[in-house]
Amino acid sequence: MIVENNLFDSQMYKEVIKQYEGVADLINLDPNIRERLKLPQRSLVVTFPFRRDEYDEVETVVGYRVQHVLSMGPTKGGIRYSPDVNLGEVTALAILMSWKSAIVGLPYGGAKGGVAIDPNPLTRAEKQRVTRRYTAELIPIIGVNKDIPAPDLGTDEQTMAWIMDTYSNFVGYATPGIVTGKPASIGGSVTRKESTGRGAVAVGVAAMEKIGKTIKNSKVVVQGFGNVGRYAAMAAYEQGAKVIAVNDVDGSIINEKGINIPELFKYTSNNVSVNGFPGAEKLNESILEIDCDVLIPAAVGGVITSSNASKIKAKVLIEGANSPTTLNADKILRENGVLIIPDILANAGGITASYFEWVQNTQNYLWKEAELYEKLIDVMLTAFEEIWTISEKQNCDLRTAALIKGIKRVAAAKLTRGLFP
């Protein structure tokens, strides 16, 4: 029987399923597996209260953790704090994590979690209480060999440290492997924070080479200056690109001659916005639509839609964020000749670095920074070459090719294990 329900309904879920079904048709996916993979195996919805700094003020919020496929090892994926978080969105993102992890060959199924809250107005103490209580609610389903959270939108290294501490207090011993993306002082990998942005630029450069372009001297625009955007900007800058515009939630800046990214790093340390940086001017138009060679959306999802896709002038789009482009927009961009490096490939450096961190934690290894980068780039470029070959053989775009690779691997694991009981 085909499961029909609207439990996981959301715009993003619909898009992810539509995308999946197109590829399932293309590869003639086993019909039983096809239905199974549309739904997550486990979803936990929790509601919990936390205290505001004003002691008598208590707020109740909703949290989620969704595990898509449990057949290939523990599940893995980030935790986001955002007012838009809902079960459908978290499920869609968990499904994308399954494909992402499979295309870089990691022994994980996809997961995602989130709390429907805007983290920006919260004080540090409030954020800590939200995180600790949310973690306590997740205890039955997370674990070093069960499900390993990581940072995502609105969460960071410190959030991971609180999760690790809360979990460790529950089990009675220090458990670094319960999360990845934590600070180095408690077992975090020094390269994790930079890996998503740097990995995205590495595959972007490889893709540009295939079409006879180089990153050097090309004009790059980065939307978002968080964990992904800032290191993507830095990697592009280091390779001789002119990063002409960047932005964050407070505003956008532009300098046609190229922004000095190391200086911008200094300026934005201590959580200061890029707004007001003396080495650039304020940009008032949409950052996505300015004239450039490479556009890297590295903030929230759904920013490139059918209403702005035709105004995008970049020739190469590197999707640092998860799901920045809607399906309709993707079609418009491809018709306009834009080369798209899809999110599940472009931002897979994050989960790949997370994997290294988790292996170090569980096996008590210690790799040097240079070794970690070498391994990261090797994994990313191998996946890229395989996906490029698929796209040539099947005469399809890179997103379809990446999905073919990811879905086939997950389906093969499920078919090989067989059905219980």
Among 347, 360, 391, 400, binds ligand GLU (CB under 6 A): 347
Among 114, 229, 350, 406, binds ligand GLU (CB under 6 A): 350
Q: Which pair of structure tokens corresponds to residue 403?
A: 């999905």
Least separation, in Å, of the C-beta of 208 and ligand GLU?
22
Among 287, 351, 372, 390, binds ligand GLU (CB under 6 A): 351
Q: How far apart are the first and last CA of the chain?
A: 17
| Residue among 157 and 293 whose Cβ is closer to ligand GLU | 157
Which residues have a Cβ under 8 Å from the Cβ of 370 and sit 6 or more positions away?
Answer: none
Which residues, 114 to 153, sit near ligand GLU by CB under 6 A?
Answer: 150, 152
Q: Give the x-and-dash track for 151-180 against ligand GLU (CB under 6 A).
A: -x---------------------------x
| Angle, CA 95 vertex, CA 90 and CA 98 arms, to 5° | 130
| Residue among 255 and 360 whose Cβ is closer to ligand GLU | 360
Residue 409: Cβ-neighbour burial (10 angstroms; 0-12, 13-18, 19+):
middle
**E strands present in 233-306:** 242-248, 251-254, 281-283, 294-297
Q: Which pair of structure tokens corresponds to residue 101?
A: 């992890």
Least separation, in Å, of the C-beta of 345 and ligand GLU?
11
85 binds ligand GLU (CB under 6 A): no
354 binds ligand GLU (CB under 6 A): yes
CB atoms within 10 A of CB 119: 19
Rounded to whole angstroms, the Cα distance separating 290 from 296 reads 12
Q: Which pair of structure tokens corresponds to residue 158?
A: 């410190």
Q: Which pair of structure tokens corresponds to residue 113?
A: 């979690």
- Alpha helix (H) residue ranges in 154-213: 157-171, 192-210
Q: Which of 417, 390, 311 is nearest to 26 (CA)?
A: 390
Q: Which stretch binds ligand GLU (CB under 6 A): 5-13, 63-71, 167-175, 350-358?
A: 350-358
Strand duo 147-151 + 242-248: pairing: unpaired
- 112, 193, 219, 414: which is the annotated catalytic residue? 112
Q: Which stretch binds ligand GLU (CB under 6 A): 11-19, 44-52, 66-74, 75-83?
A: 75-83
| Residue among 241 and 346 whose Cβ is closer to ligand GLU | 346
Cis status, amide bond into 421, omega within 30 of 0: yes
Q: Which stretch binds ligand GLU (CB under 6 A): 3-11, 15-23, 344-352, 381-389?
A: 344-352
Least separation, in Å, of the C-beta of 243 and ligand GLU?
23
Q: Which of 109, 125, 96 is nearest to 343 (CA)?
A: 96
Q: Which pair of structure tokens corresponds to residue 374?
A: 């070498």
Compute CA distances 387 → 26, 101, 273, whole Å.
15, 14, 37
Q: How many residues bind ligand GLU (CB under 6 A)?
A: 12
Q: Which stretch binds ligand GLU (CB under 6 A): 169-177, 245-253, 348-356, 369-377?
A: 348-356
Least separation, in Å, of the C-beta of 394 and ligand GLU?
25
Q: What is the Cα Rg of the chain in Å?
A: 21
Q: Which stretch binds ligand GLU (CB under 6 A): 4-12, 158-166, 311-319, 343-351?
A: 343-351
Compute CA distances 95 → 19, 111, 275, whole Å.
11, 7, 35
Least separation, in Å, of the C-beta of 186 and ligand GLU?
16
Least separation, in Å, of the C-beta of 249 and ligand GLU?
18
| Residue among 75 and 247 whose Cβ is closer to ligand GLU | 75
Q: Is residue 282 flagged as an active site residue?
A: no
Among 40, 63, 74, 77, binds ligand GLU (CB under 6 A): 77
Which residues, 178 to 217, sit near ligand GLU by CB under 6 A?
Answer: 180-181
Rounded to whole angstroms, the Cα distance separating 36 from 13 reads 15
Q: Point out which residues bind ligand GLU (CB under 6 A).
A: 76-78, 150, 152, 180-181, 322, 347, 350-351, 354
* Active site residues per annotation: 112
